[in-house]
Amino acid sequence: MANRAYNFNAGPAALPLEVLQQAQEQFVEFRGSGMSLMEMSHRGAIYEGVHQETEQLLRELLNVPEGYKVLFLQGGASTQFAMVPMNLLKPGTVGAYVATGSWATKAIEEAKLFGETTIAASSEADQYKRIPAAAEIALPDNAAYLHVTSNETIEGTQWASYPDTGTVPLIGDLSSDILCRPLNVSQFGLVYAGAQKNLGPSGVTIVIIREDLIGKPAGPVPTMLRYATHAKTDSLYNTPPTFAIYMTNLVLRWVKAQGGAAGVERVNQEKAGLLYAAIDGSDGFYRGFAETGSRSVMNVTFRLASEELEKQFAKESEAQGFSGLKGHRSVGGLRASIYNAVPLENVRALVDFMGDFARRNG
Ligand code: PMP
């Protein structure tokens, strides 16, 4: 479509064009029901069909084993920063966190409101340019869990593989890389992700939780903030975000048609490979922010020689139809977010622009 931007937004982010068109076709009248999906009861058979199919698709695409619940919650991943400690921290236990950047830090700060926390490893001294090695992680005996941020959206770092925590439940914030590659859910006690990067629009948060962790929180927790409330009711305790779940359904069908997690992973590797090659082959004109071994396949962060030049890059790219390349205000620089739905051609167009910009300004 001629007027679609090269969308590199960090989230909410690009959705597959086919999905948007499908939603448009079904927007006013949904599958012979005489109304929009947004106008019907969440207790009716039509919506329930969408709800259940979305859960089934997630189970299939993420290969979720028996013994795990898949939940659709609200409040964004930011609410999970609180729900995890509220539900899982018990007196005498400590929430352990790996401090990898901006989002991990937010999760830690929130957990401090509810109990004792510890930083099991940190790359703060290296400006969060890297993911700590497994050997750096010091897990206390009384850890209730170890929390990792799978992909730091702002710094552009990503865990290549997750640490083995033995019997201590591993908790993962997968907001910015869920379903970018196959996942071994059984390594985790709980994973969560806001939908608005790889799964759909904002408004729904996916939680996958091992059933033995649902249990009973140690202290009083509001009904809506207990995992048990939503696990017992198949995420239909109250009105769910029906439209966001429906859009997620369409995105998951699209991922399935791309060959599932392994299919999108191949394209993601290719897209990230092209951008990192453009950075590394620029004779230092572009400098990658993340250390090589910790580079994200979802958020490619880079800097130029001066902030002035970075501003010029952002401005000129915007004028040529590229959107969202300015880095997050907290770290500056530039960032290309290349989630599943960003087409390979758009990455090629960006690589061409980068080459051209470097020739004109190098
Ligand atoms: N964690 C990560 C890794 C994120 O990228 C974000 C959002 N950019 C969040 C948490 C917060 O998500 P939300 O806006 O859904 O609360």
CATH number, domain with residue 276: 3.90.1150.10
Query: Does residue 35 belong to any structural domain of this protein?
Result: yes
Compute the distance from residue 193 Cα to the ligand 1 centre, in Å.
Answer: 8
Q: Quick one: 217 and 266 in the same domain?
A: no
Per-residue model confidence (pLDDT) at position 186:
98
**DSSP secondary structure letters along 6-25:** EE--SSS----HHHHHHHHH
Per-residue model confidence (pLDDT) at position 197:
98
Query: Does residue 13 belong to any structural domain of this protein?
Result: no
Give the tokens for residue 193: 């992700």
Per-residue model confidence (pLDDT) at position 341:
98
Radius of gyration of the chain measured on its C-alpha atoms: 21
Query: Does residue 9 belong to any structural domain of this protein?
Result: no
Q: Quick one: 206 and 99 in the same domain?
A: yes
Q: Quick one: 246 and 168 in the same domain?
A: yes
Per-residue model confidence (pLDDT) at position 215:
84
Provide the annotated active-site residues. Answer: 103, 173, 197
Number of domains present in the structure of the chain: 2
Q: Quick one: 91 and 217 in the same domain?
A: yes
CA distance 195 to 37: 19
For 44, how many CA atoms within 13 A lie in the half-sphere containing its CB?
A: 10
Query: Does residue 11 belong to any structural domain of this protein?
Result: no
The residue among 174, 151, 179 whose CA lies nearest residue 255 is 179
- Indicate which residue's Cα is closest to atom 10 of ligand 1: 77
Q: Quick one: 238 and 273 in the same domain?
A: no
E strands, the chain, in order: 6-7, 68-73, 94-99, 116-122, 143-149, 151-152, 157-158, 170-173, 190-194, 205-210, 287-288, 299-303, 322-323, 334-337
Task: Centre a 10 Å sphere on the Cβ of residue 235 and count the other Cβ atoms it contains.
Answer: 25
153 marked ligand binding residue: yes
**What ipTM, to 2 d.p.?**
0.99
For 169, how many CA atoms within 13 A lie in the half-sphere containing its CB?
A: 21
Q: Which helix (H) or strand (E) holds 299?
A: strand 299-303
Q: Relative to the CA of 79, which ligand 1 atom is closest?
A: 16
Query: Does residue 179 belong to any structural domain of this protein?
Result: yes
Per-residue model confidence (pLDDT) at position 83:
98
Q: Quick one: 200 and 58 in the same domain?
A: yes
Per-residue model confidence (pLDDT) at position 271:
98
Return the CATH number at 91: 3.40.640.10
Question: Could you tell me if residue 67 is left (phi over 0), alpha (psi between -120 and 50 degrees) or otherwise beta?
Answer: left
Per-residue model confidence (pLDDT) at position 172:
98
**What's the chain's length in residues?**
362
Q: Which helix (H) or strand (E) holds 273?
A: helix 260-280
Task: Spell 33-45 as b/e; 16+ CB within 10 A means b.
Answer: eeeebeebebeee
Per-residue model confidence (pLDDT) at position 279:
98
Query: Does residue 6 belong to any structural domain of this protein?
Result: no
Q: Quick one: 83 and 97 in the same domain?
A: yes
- Indicate which residue's Cα is closest to atom 6 of ligand 1: 175
Quick check: helix, strand or coil at residue 356?
Answer: helix
Q: Which residues of the chain have pLDDT under 70?
A: 1-2
Query: Does residue 169 belong to any structural domain of this protein?
Result: yes
CA distance 134 to 318: 40
Ligand 1 is surrounded, with C-beta below 6 A, by 11, 76-78, 103, 149, 153, 173, 175-176, 194
Look at residues 257, 284, 299 and tell me which one is the last residue of a structural domain: 257
Quick check: helix, strand or coil at residue 48?
Answer: helix
Compute the distance from residue 360 Cα to the ligand 1 centre, in Å.
Answer: 36
Look at residues 212, 238, 257 and tell me which one is the last residue of a structural domain: 257
Compute the distance from residue 107 Cα to the ligand 1 centre, in Å.
Answer: 10
Backbone phi, then psi, for 311, in 5-degree steps?
-65, -40
Q: Quick one: 49 and 75 in the same domain?
A: yes
Give the tokens for residue 51: 């709800």
235 marked ligand binding residue: no
CA distance 281 to 276: 8
340 marked ligand binding residue: no
Compute the distance from residue 65 Cα to the ligand 1 centre, in Å.
Answer: 25
The residue among 157, 159, 165 whose CA lies nearest residue 290 is 157
Q: Relative to the CA of 202, which ligand 1 atom is closest?
A: 15
Strands 322-323 and 6-7: parallel
Q: Quick one: 68 and 177 in the same domain?
A: yes
Range of the domain at 345: 260-361
Q: Quick one: 75 and 150 in the same domain?
A: yes
Cα three-residue angle 106-155-185, rounded to 5 degrees: 70
Type of residue numbered 117:
T
Compute the distance from residue 25 Cα to the ligand 1 centre, in Å.
Answer: 30
233 marked ligand binding residue: no
239 marked ligand binding residue: yes
Inter-residue contact 111 to 81 (CB < 8 Å): yes
Q: Relative to the CA of 153, which ligand 1 atom is closest?
A: 5
- Indicate which residue's Cα is closest to atom 9 of ligand 1: 77
CA distance 59 to 62: 5
Q: Quick one: 28 and 142 in the same domain?
A: yes
Q: Relative to the CA of 81, which ligand 1 atom is closest?
A: 10
Out of 9, 72, 74, 78, give the residue to mutate to test ligand 1, the one with the largest number of ligand atoms within 8 Å of its CB.
78
Look at residues 197, 225, 257 and tell me which one is the last residue of a structural domain: 257
* Mean pLDDT across the chain: 97
Per-residue model confidence (pLDDT) at position 17:
97
Q: Quick one: 83 and 212 in the same domain?
A: yes
